[in-house]
Structures are given as structure tokens and as C-alpha cells.
Amino acid sequence: MLDAAPKVRLWQILGTGTDHFDLEYWRSRGVPVANCPGTFTAPGLAELALMFMLMLSRRFKEGQVRFTSGDYYGPAGRELGGRELLLLGFGASARELANRAGGFGMRVSAVDAVPISSHDAQSFNLVRCGGPDDIEDFLRFADFVSLHLPLTTDTRHAIDARKLTLFKPTAYLVNVARGELVDEAALEEALAGGRIAGAGLDVFSKEPPDSTFGLLALPNVIATPHIAGATQEASRGRAEFVAANIQRLLRGEKPLNLV
């Protein structure tokens, strides 16, 4: 696309992630690339993650099957209060989810590559916080694990077969970030074998997934079509940000959020 438009002065990514973008090529051509801050989609991601947690806890998919068959007054679900949520990544969307989970009386822990300050730990009432080396230890306590990581060579398959063995059999995985953060084959095996209780998935390694994709057929999986950040509020915020960046470019000012 750059070869076809050699006079481009700025390439503006409407979203936040850059894993689909050949940044090295653009750097070699000297064209600035900017993305949108994650703050625009953070509330939507947090709300969808919370929706997954509620639906999984209340066994929504099983309830729908029973409802349509006329089998009423079941199943019995569980409440969120007192259960522990582990956030892998503690950026904007994770912090939004921490606030919402706290409102439900959940215990929240977090792991991030950037050290979490004591001020943030206190502000978000974290029961435990740490870095990447703490993930395996923290997984043993979690009732829900929610992914809020960017996709990089270091984070690809952050949840792999080994990590899944550390989950409680009653624990759930939630992914509203990037599909390739999870080894999907290992996840399918763990879910089908009852080694973890269920998963809420908004993202997949291949989008859209094939109709034969095994995870979608499992009764303990709730899936949505990559819509966590697709809210009217996020779209308007991003559009206004892009317009402001174009105005900065026209005024000869440095664009914001350069990557």
C-alpha cells in the first residue's frame, strides 16, 4: 500500500494493536505510523470480559439449552463475590475490569511486565501483584483468568498446555485481547477433558475461524465475533482522535501516539 502511495505523510491505525502491521518495513521507508490509545476500547473490553464471567458462572449456555427444551429451574450457578480474578496484563482494559470486578466483591490479582506500583496495588485493591515470573504461582489461586496482553513474540501462547495444567478445574479463561495469546489446541483439549471449567472467547488465532473449529462446539465455551471493542463510544472516540491527529499534521506538529 505504501508503494502505491509514496507521498503518504502519516499512516494512522484506527485500532490499538500493531501485530498485523509490518512496522519494520514502514520504519525503513521513514513514514510515521500512529495507532489509537487503548483507553478508547478499554471500557468495552472490560464489560465484555465481565459479561463472559457472569455468563460462565451462571452456566448461561446450559441454561439456554434447558430453556428451549422446557427444563426449568436449573442449572444452579455461582456468584462472583469472593472469587479471585487474575489479570494478565495491567493496562487500561485490565484496570477497567479490576474496578468492575471489585464492584461485584471479587478479589483481584494482576501480573504485568511493567512493575505494578504500590500505589496502583492499593488503589485497585489487588490481593497480589507481580511480574511474568509470578504467573504460574498466581494461576493456582485464580477462579477467572482474563487476558489483557499485546501480542508479541514473548506473549504468543502465554497460556499454553503447561499453564493450563495449573488452572483449578473450576477456573475459567477469558480472552478479549488476541487469539494467539492462547494455544487453542491445548485449550480445546483441557476444556473437553474437564481440566478447566470453561472459557469466554472474543478473539481467535484465525478470524473468522473455520466452521469446523472445535472450540466453538464445546458446551463450556461462550464465543463472540471480536466485538469487545466495538462500541459506539469507542468508535466515536477513535474517530475524534484520528481527526485531531490529522489537524496536528496539517499544523506541522508531531502526531500523537506514534508507534
Enumerate residues 6+ apart whose C-beta is below 8 A from 49.
Answer: 93, 97, 146, 174, 176, 200, 228
Annotated active-site residue 20? The verdict is: no
The H-or-E segment that residue 144 falls in is strand 144-147
Alpha-carbon gap, residue 111 to 133, rounded angstroms: 9
Residue linked to cell 495491567? 90
Find the catalytic residue in 24, 119, 207, 251: 207
Find the catalytic residue in 83, 178, 184, 188: 178
Residue 141 Cα distances to 72, 108, 172, 253, angstroms = 33, 11, 12, 49
Enumerate residues 6+ apart whose C-beta is below 8 A from 235.
Answer: none
Q: Would you mind telling me the total number of residues written for the chain in this entry?
A: 259
Residue linked to cell 505504501? 2
Annotated active-site residue 178? The verdict is: yes
Find the catalytic residue in 66, 157, 195, 226: 226
Alpha-carbon gap, residue 17 to 178, rounded angstroms: 9
Enumerate residues 6+ apart whose C-beta is below 8 A from 37.
Answer: 16, 92, 241, 257
Alpha-carbon gap, residue 221 to 191, rounded angstroms: 8
Annotated active-site residue 189? The verdict is: no
Residue 38: Cβ within 10 Å count: 20
Residue 232: Cβ within 10 Å count: 8
Residues recognised as catalytic: 178, 207, 226
